[in-house]
Structure 1
Amino acid sequence: MIEMKKFLLLIIIFTLQSCIEEKQKTIGKKEPQKITETKPISEEADITSFCNFAVIVDKDGYVNVREKESANSKIIGKIKSGEAVFIFEDLDTDWLNISFDNNRKSGYIHRSRIKYIKDLEKIPSVDTHDNKAVFHLNDIDINIKTGDFDYESNKKYFSETDFPITKYKGREMWGTDGTIPKSYYQSITVKIGNQKIEIPKKDIEDLFNLNNGYTECYYDKVNNSIYIHLSNSDGAGSYVALFKIENDIYKGRQVEIPF
């Protein structure tokens, strides 16, 4: 009986040792990686969903801006066809809340009177980094150069030396929420064939804390218009801007707070 117990004990010890040796052989070996197919990002998930600017399209040549969401509501303004407005939120309603008159007024227009800029032909991005964004379509080339902002050499242009800082060269600052700017636009250039259009310095020098990866450009073939859409900064400093070039002529900009 004792001999049988010894024999069984030896079998158990041998089995345990075999298991330990087998496990040691597999230590350090990596599991083979599973290859999964990466699906392309859908259009709905694309950054274009943040472009809430739209162009007025009305056969009468203008649209009435209403105080409330009704055709019987008081008219508080008129916007010409071809002009752009910012839509605060695209709810599933017939009436849209918009910003107009350089962000000084808001009201309502009927959905049938607008065309979203994000629904125009998109000018593809061909090169985007921290210090530049380049776009190209047919004979259209858009080159945006940005850089780190040097506060010390520009200190004299600020309204205050202490925080919060509110103005730069006597104008309201965008994107900083009262802090020192981190980045700025050096230049925005549009080349259409042999024609070169430079966005004026005064229209970019008050825009700070940039997100080049969120920049988008669109082309309206029917009206021969180019739109450059910027979405910059974050949090309380967030802002969006739209530059328009029509028939090779710079038409100006709009800057909005998107909330």
Structure 2
Amino acid sequence: MKNLMIMLILFLLTVGAKAQVGIIQDDDGYTNVREKPNGQSSIIHKLYNNEAFWFDYEEGIDINEWIPICIPKNSFSFSSTQPDCISGFIHKSKLKPLDKLQTFKGADFKFEYVIEPFKLNNRIVDRYNNAVVAISGRPVWGTDGDFPKTQVKSVNASVKGKKIEIHRALYSDIYECTNTFKVYKNGDSFIVYQWNSDGAGAYQIVWVFSKDELKQRLVGTRI
């Protein structure tokens, strides 16, 4: 038990630092998340098709074919730049790393940031040791303590010509974005994945869309 707790703590401390992004692969459409790395352990959560989460597989954390994962507590990463997730285990056979999906090259899905120079516009800034850590109470993704150079003015997304509304709150904390990203299609879902940064404050962002709406935004960092 002691070794198990140490492993989970280490994983949580490094999630966002080393974690990769995955989804599940299960014919039932969902996978049980276990408290411990065995099939008899308590079920603490269920993951459904095309829900993105963090995992650390390539670093060798693999006990009895069970993979430690970190599941965001909300669907849109609204908390902070620190991990805000629940930890558990899924069986190795149920894991599908995002980068193992086939990239989508079709015209049915469109995604684009409208980017503009950063403007503070009298917004409140929180600092820690002179570093900018929050603007308007939101984390500053994409910098390493400096003010951003660019910000997102809006996000345009559509599926088969139908516009998908994306609220300003979902892009007001991400900075230094570019329109260089990968798009994956899994079932009826489209998944946008990219890295953004000012050169030092690199972060990953994942957008998951159904044919009708934005389902998830996952944001985190990795060394």
Structure number, greater radius of gyration: 1
Same fold (TM over 0.5): yes
Q: 2:112 aligns with which of 135, 143, 146?
A: 143
**Residues 58-69 of structure 1: pairs in structure 2 closer than 5 A:** 58-69=26-37
1:59-138 pair list within 5 angstroms: 59-73=27-41, 75-91=43-59, 93=62, 94-102=65-73, 103-124=84-105, 137-138=106-107
Structure 1 residue runs of 5 or longer lacking an equivalent are 1-49, 125-136
Q: Partners in 1 of 2:118 and 2:98 — Cα distance?
A: 31
Residue identity opposite 2:86 in structure 1: K
Alignment-mate amino acid for residue 249 of structure 1: E
Relative to structure 1, the CA distance from residue 108 to residue 257 in structure 2 (aligned partners, 3 Å threshold; closer, same or farther) is farther
Assess if the C-alpha contact under 8 Å between 2:165 and 2:213 holds in 1.
Answer: no
SS of aligned partner of 1:237? coil
Give, in angstroms, the shift of residue 258 of structure 1. 2.7
Identity among equivalent positions (%) equals: 30
1:249 paired with 2:206, answer no
Residues 119 and 255 of structure 1: CA distance in aligned 2, closer, same or farther (over 3 Å): same
1:218 corresponds to: 184
Secondary structure of the equivalent of 1:112? helix
Question: What TM-score results when the alignment is normalised by the length of structure 1?
Answer: 0.62
Distance 2:89 2:192 in 1: 25
Quick one: which amino acid aligns to residue 172 of structure 1?
P
Q: Which residue of 1 aligns with 2:197?
A: 233
The AA in structure 2 aligned to 1:57 is Q
CA deviation profile, 1:109-142 (whole Å, cap 9, x unmatched): 2121122333333134xxxxxxxxxxxx233222
- Equivalent positions of 1:48-67 (< 5 A) are 52-67=20-35
Could you tell me whether the CA contact under 8 Å between 2:19 and 2:222 is conserved in 1? no
Alignment of 1:15-34 (within 5 A): none
Distance 2:128 2:221 in 1: 25
Deviation per residue, 1:224-251 (Å, 9 max, x gap)? 1111112122787332111111122211
Deviations 1:183-228 (A, max 9, x none): 2222221223331113221111101233544x211122xx311111
Shift of 1:66: 3.4
Q: Please identify which structure carries the higher helix content.
A: 1
Give, in angstroms, the shift of residue 105 of structure 1.
2.4
**Which residue of structure 2 lines up, in the alignment, with residue 14 of structure 1?**
none
Residues paired across the two proteins, number = 193
Equivalent-residue separation in structure 2 for 1:149 and 1:70 (angstroms): 49
**Equivalences for 1:189-204 in 2 at 5 Å?**
189-204=156-171
The 3 A distance-change label for structure 1 pair 258 and 73 is farther
TM-score between both structures, scaled by the size of structure 2: 0.71
Amino acid at match of 1:199: I
Instruction: For 1:191, give the aligned amino acid.
Output: S
Separation in structure 1 between the aligned mates of residue 128 and residue 67 of structure 2, nearest angstrom = 41
Q: 1: CA distance between counterparts of 2:87 and 2:200? A: 20
Q: Which amino acid aligns with 1:119?
A: K
Find the counterpart in structure 2 of residue 157 from structure 1: 124
The 3-state SS of whatever aligns with 1:166 is: strand
Structure with more relative contact order (C-alpha pairs < 8 Å, separation 6 or more): 2
Q: Which amino acid aligns with 2:196?
A: N
